[in-house]
Amino acid sequence: MPLTFNILAETESGGRRAQLHLPHRTVQTPVFMPVGTAGTVKAVPQDTLETLGAEIILGNTYHLYLRPGHEPIRRMGGLHKFIGWPRALLTDSGGFQVFSLSQLRKVTDEGVRFRSHLDGSSHFFTPEHSMDVQIALGADICMAFDECTEYPADRTRAEESLRLTMAWARRSLNHFRAHQHEVPWQNELWVPPVPRTWGPGSDVANHEQRLGTQSLFGIVQGGMYRDLRRESAERLIEMDFDGYAIGGLSVGEPRDLTLEMISEVLPLLPKDKPRYVMGVGYPDEIEQYARMGVDMMDCVLPTRAARHGLLFTSEGRLNIKGKRYAEDQGPPDPACDCMVCRRYSRAYLRHLMQAGEALSGTLNSIHNLAYYLGIMERVRKSLHPQGSSAL
Ligand SMILES: [Zn+2]
């Protein structure tokens, strides 16, 4: 059985509080998903992610396919077991990275030939191959293979790109349905060898893990053209995916255009299935979209910005490299009770950054993730009629 999605509360503006039941975890939505590019949310250990309350993280198919390869991961029992992450996982289709990272791409109706950004080796990705790789990785949620339309794209280009994405969506779905039983955890879900039985992040209360199947989401594309977005959504809904994503946003367009596309598509998507906006965004954006009825979001921003010394705080953005923090003994964010803000000062975080210490990226990332996850927790509480009891 693929995912089940139970809506607990809805608001007039469309926001909803729900539970997303996946094989490895029941995820409280709306949810922010940290991005674990190559099997790691950069600089942050898995047990720390658990303590922070992350219930689902992403893996990038393109990166994992190139290194260490999906076959070794399949032989070792799948991505959950390989990276030591018992909670839910989502893999993207590989499409976005093929188009943004690789060299010498050649796109045909059949698929994409590209060269690895690592060693220049040649690879051919088709919708079927993307499904095979994602089934081998074994994430709870897989994504249809799509072409992320660049911005700006003229009408002809956006139409052609959409035609390709819709054909690939159908082929992804057919292949996925025929092979989804081949997931490496088909008979047994992995649990950590020493289950945590105490303290924050303990998984004891969430041990209703159940066998199930992977789910597949379709991706709405169509560039910045409202009618193409509508057409894309309608055709995907006819195909009947387990959930729906809106892709091709946050690719350089102005923010009001992002909002316009989300507003156009959201009301068209089935109410009883999860809706995922890919690759957004800044803290105020994720809150806004969650209140509009977006259930899932992911973004590299909190961790990438952290490694560059940019902290998101209740007082706005804070560039920890600033000289004025050299002797500032206050916490990074006075309103944050994350493990970093409770223990360390701005002066220390600045020093770590200045000295190029590895801990710098770790501590900055932990705070930024805590901030993002905290936003979603607040939104969920405000959407839930009984307050926080269910959290
Ligand atoms: Zn903090």
Mean of per-residue pLDDT scores for the chain: 93
pLDDT at position 289, please? 98
pLDDT tens digits for 59-105? 999 999 999 999 999 999 999 999 999 999 999 999 888 888 877 78
Q: Of the given ranges (97-106, 148-157, 326-335), which has the lowest mean pLDDT?
A: 97-106
Which two tokens mark 296? 């899932």
- What is the per-residue pLDDT for 390? 43
pLDDT at 387 over 50: no
What separation in Å is there between the alpha carbon of 339 and the centre of ligand 1?
7
Over pLDDT 70: what percentage of the chain? Answer: 94
Whether 295 sits among the annotated catalytic residues: the reply is no
| Cα 340 to averaged position of ligand 1 atoms, centre (Å) | 5
pLDDT per position as a tens digit, 343-371: 999 999 999 999 999 999 999 999 999 99
Distance 135 CA to ligand 1 centre (A): 36
> How many angstroms is it from 341 CA to the middle of ligand 1?
4
Three-state secondary structure string covering the chain:
CCCEEEEEEECCCCCEEEEEEECCEEEEECEEEEEECCCCCCCCCHHHHHHHCCCEEEECHHHHHHCCCHHHHHHCCCHHHHHCCCCEEEECCCHHHHHHCCEEEEECCCCEEEECCCCCCEEEECHHHHHHHHHHHCCCEEECCCCCCCCCCCHHHHHHHHHHHHHHHHHHHHHHHHHHHHCCCCCCCCCCCCCCCCCCCCCHHHCCCCCCCCEEEEEECCCCCHHHHHHHHHHHHHHCCCEEEECCCCCCCCHHHHHHHHHHHHHHCCCCCCEEECCCCCHHHHHHHHHHCCCEEEECHHHHHHHCCEEEECCEEEECCCHHHCCCCCCCCCCCCCCCCCCCCHHHHHHHHHCCCHHHHHHHHHHHHHHHHHHHHHHHHHHCCCCCCCC
Rounded to the nearest angstrom, the distance between the alpha carbon of 371 and the centre of ligand 1 is: 6
CB 232 within 8 A of CB 162: yes
- Summarised one tens digit per residue, pLDDT across range 165-217 is 999 999 999 999 999 999 999 888 888 876 555 555 555 445 556 778 999 99
Give yes or no: 298 in active site.
Answer: yes
At 211 the pLDDT is 77
Which residue is catalytic, options 47, 92, 132, 337? 92
Instruction: Determine the distance separating the centroid of ligand 1 and the alpha carbon of 385, expressed in angstroms.
Output: 27
Q: Which candidate in 132, 140, 146, 298 is catalytic?
A: 298
Q: What is the pLDDT of residue 199?
A: 54
pLDDT per residue as tens digits for the range 369-386: 999 999 999 999 999 765
pTM: 0.95
pLDDT of amino acid 5: 98
Task: Calculate how far, in angstroms, residue 192's C-alpha sits from the geometric centre of ligand 1.
Answer: 27
pLDDT of residue 365: 98
Q: In terms of C-beta density within 10 A (0-12 exposed, 13-18 middle, 19 or more buried), how is residue 174 classed?
A: middle
Q: How far is the CA of 303 from the centre of ligand 1 (A)?
A: 13
Give residue 50 CA to ligand 1 midpoint distance, Å.
15
